[in-house]
Chain A
Amino acid sequence: MKIIIVGCGKVGMTLAAELNKDGHDITVIDKNPYAVTATTNNVDVLGLVGNGAVYNVQIEAGVAGADLLIACTDSDELNMLCCLIAKKAGDARTIARIRDPEYSSEIRYIRDELNLSMAINPEQAAAGEIAQLLRFPSAIKIDTFTRGRVEIMKFIVPEGSVLNDMRVQEVFSRLGRKVLICALERGEDVLIPSGPTFMRAGDKLSVLAQPGESMEFFRQVGIENNAVKTVLMVGGGKITYYLAKMLEETHIKIKIIEENADRCNFLSDALPKAMIIHGDGSSQELLLEEGIRQVEAFAALTGFDEENIMLSLYAATQSKAKLITKVNRIAFDNVVNALKLGSVIHPKRICADMILQYVRAMQNASGSNVKTLYKLTDNGGEALEFNVGKDFPGAGIPLEKLRLKNNLLVASINRKGKIITPSGKDTIEEGDTAIIVTTNAGLLDLKDILA
């Protein structure tokens, strides 16, 4: 497909890189020539310097023949204008990043009126992810598939767990739980484990299971899981606002520490149930005073990555609370992952992933296309949900007879609502949805799983 991306920030660049890998022709537009050069040097895309909301610039970028325009500059208004003009100038679908809470409250209206295919709010999406984690604090990351009937949860194998030194193939026989270990991270390596692979304490496991099943499994392997009842958030930005709004309906007690008095007033007005504390969140006294030792979850959500990391590291020394750390910059992934920061939330990565998911889904609506896509790990592991179309050549053939690519696993098959955790005898049939876990990037069609 021909795709135009307006805005070469982190989101734009991540999208350009990923979509380019998928084989799309991409043109990026940004006002800043350095941002454009940085992108074109790293990724094989065409760069254009200019204001993406200008008709002539869009024409030069080829909007007339484009299939999709993604506006992800840091200005909501500019993004909307870009999409509006693209609609008039060509026949492309449009995706806009819109993050201001004032717009979000009427996002439906905006989307319809501007004819947007998708309006994405990174902060809201990040807040959604955090809310899910608070409901299931033992997991580092939770992705749901098949409308919530299947979950992939990532957690760290604790010291002294029965899983330590157990082979993957023994899980069912020894624990009697129908869960599937679909990815294993040890240090910087990601592997799709096979039967004889050993698990060790400290490994990050991604486990696929049905929701009821996973609860039991976690109990057995020695992970306590109680939904969080109190949460302390530092920083009163957009994510905090969205998160608090989402949690208001639950019984979770919310405490927010924010430095800016005006912002505190606004939050107090918008979030009547939350307790707003006006003060410096990086002051140890204040944190202790507000009970950092007692809270069950601690979320560092200020605007500064460094501060968030420091806060979480400090919280880890003071309490056993579930830690959530927001990190904006993706650049130092490996460093950040090596620290004990609990769940690290990258709003920009989440935003890019959601757009990616949409693009892959629109690619070939008729074939065996990707329905949802989740990045399991930051360095390559993906879980993809496919609709099985007519053209899938492996339909009806038992999995053990299919020649699948390496580092790839058929993790789950959903046949008319029935979830099958496949063994070698099972087949993939037309009309199913299948979840594939792999470290090979760029799977676009189900037939790509065949070697």
Chain B
Amino acid sequence: MNLAIVVYFLGWIMNLEALLMALPLVTGLIYREADWVYFGYVMLALATVGYLCTRKKPKNELFFAKEGFVCVSLGWVILSFFGSLPFYLSGAIGDFEDAMFEIISGFTTTGASVLADVEALSHSMLMWRSFTHWIGGMGVLVFILAIMPLAGSYNMHIMRAESPGPSVGKLVPRVKTTAKLLYIIYFSMTVAEVIALLIGGMPLFDAMCASFGTAGTGGFGIKALSMGYYDSAYLQGVVSVFMLLFGVNFNVYYLFLIRKPKDALRCEEARVYFAIVAASTALIAWNARHFFAGAWPALHHALFQVASIITTTGYSTVDFNLWPQFSKMILVALMFVGACAGSTGGGMKVSRILIGVKSVYNELASLVHPRSVKVVKLEHKAVEATVVRSVNAYFVVYFIIFAVSLLLISLDDFDFTTNFTAISATFNNIGPGLSMVGPMGSFGSFSPFSKVVMMFDMLAGRLEIFPMILLFLPSTWKKS
């Protein structure tokens, strides 16, 4: 374990966070709120520590997969720690564990909140809260890779550890250019959404917060009613379309950019993703039709909710907690599916499910024809055996962590639906669940211990489990 280089990277993360805090600080100044100073203090602290860590590049530049994982997981923990300080110091959120929960929920693009009254927060706090979604959506280290003059073998290890999906590829030969391209796509789509919302008459501040939440597939609303506050089919429609778009594998957009629309449209994962969305929307609209005034409102709200849950955003237009059981179960199932690999969404990812289902099918076929040989294919290509293996391992670890977390938070003695959906909403980075943690509820009533469990789940969910688990393996820290 080469700690020196890990510390060096962590220093850069702190420098970057100091820079990013300028946005809420400026917001505070614009709205003449007193709590901008807390951002100033934290920025100063970050910049000092960051400077000390990055003053000199360590001589030992050995950097392997292990260092990549540790950099990313520790980086996210540190990011969250400093990110929570403005909330805590300003007293906007009284308890430290609540502040941590809120900010981890932000960075991991979960959108689960412990706040009973969101609208009581100041503009700068709301901006920081939503902005963390945007930062966390594409990844902090990917951003560092895009802007920093770092060459060497480490960048691929970092990218692999931070980007979601069963196997991570590059768009172009260089990691730096790839990271840049991803951020350019991300940034332009966010701007497009802000503009679309402004056209619909949403105020700029709201439009920015809503877009950050959509782009990172986070879901922190700045109103108690979430998107239900904006009683406009246009605004809600824009948000549902963009949620769906941010849930698509960014490779598809790259293919459009380099004018290969045919290849883009052939993307198997995106096709399955849209098929799932269409089917779920139709079923929910039919099942919950009595709640709405007609077919169109039913379809509109069903689509919004489906898009919000499958992309793991977590916005809501209505309280779907009141919907019929069948519709709710579809939403719960979608929580696990998640968005496409290589998008900003969470969950298990469509491609992983596809690989899993196909390898199960192959297993079944080999029961009937014991000597048959079949490879798993995805995107018209054979999936390497190592990828299939890691997908299977992922499923196993996923369910173990899920079960253990469920067991741990059941100490609080809430009902099963609350517990089950609370874990699936945090572990899959969605936000709202059902019952007590439904779209109109909050996570505030859980005990501090349960909150810590869910904080771990959120980080593990965002970083796809393995980097977080490696932190707890003794062999990771051994000197080799």
| Chain A residues within CB distance 8 Å of chain B | 21, 25-27, 33, 40-46
Contacts and interface: CB of A to CB of B under 8 A. Distances in A.
Contacts of A42: 153
Contacts of B170: 46
A46 B173 contact: yes
Interface string B124-138: 000000000000000
Contacts, number: 28
B156 interface: yes
Interface of B: 151-153, 155-157, 170, 172-177, 384
7 contacts: A25-B172, A25-B173, A25-B174, A40-B156, A44-B175, A46-B170, A46-B172
Contacts of B176: 44
Nearest to B174: A44
B153 A27 contact: no
A35 to B, nearest CB: 14
B383 to A, nearest CB: 12
- 9 closest Cβ pairs, A-B complex: A46-B173, A25-B173, A42-B153, A45-B173, A26-B173, A44-B175, A44-B174, A46-B170, A27-B173
Contacts of B173: 25-27, 44-46
A46 B254 CA distance: 16
A45 B172 CA distance: 8
Contact of B153 (A25, A33, A41): A41
B156 A44 contact: yes
A33 B156 contact: no
B182 to A, nearest CB: 15
A33 B167 CA distance: 14
Nearest to B175: A44
Contacts of A46: 170, 172-173
Contacts of A27: 173
Contacts of B174: 25, 44-45
B153 A43 contact: yes
A235 B170 CA distance: 45
Given A25-B172, A25-B174, A27-B173, A44 B153 contact: yes
B172 A44 contact: no
A33 B384 contact: yes
B156 A41 contact: yes
Given A21-B151, A44-B151, 4 more contacts: A25-B177, A45-B173, A46-B170, A46-B173
Which of A21, A33, A41 has the most chain B CB atoms inside 10 A of its CB? A41
A178 B420 CA distance: 84
A59 to B, nearest CB: 11
Contacts of B175: 44
Given A25-B172, A25-B174, A27-B173, A44 B155 contact: yes
A253 to B, nearest CB: 49
A184 B176 CA distance: 36
Contacts of B155: 44
Contacts of B156: 40-41, 44
Contacts of B172: 25, 46
Nearest to A442: B151
Contacts of A43: 153
A145 B172 CA distance: 37
B303 to A, nearest CB: 36
A372 B177 CA distance: 30
A27 B173 CA distance: 6
B336 to A, nearest CB: 30
Contacts of A26: 173
Contacts of A33: 384
A111 to B, nearest CB: 28
A21 B174 CA distance: 11
Contacts of A41: 153, 156-157
A286 B281 CA distance: 86
Contacts of A44: 151-153, 155-156, 173-176
Contacts of B157: 41
Which of A21, A43, A44, A45 has the most chain B CB atoms inside 10 A of its CB? A44
A26 B153 CA distance: 14
A6 to B, nearest CB: 15
B379 to A, nearest CB: 13
Contacts of A45: 173-174
Nearest to B177: A25
A108 to B, nearest CB: 34
B404 to A, nearest CB: 33
Which of B156, B173, B174 has the most chain A CB atoms inside 10 A of its CB? B173
A309 B233 CA distance: 79
A442 to B, nearest CB: 10
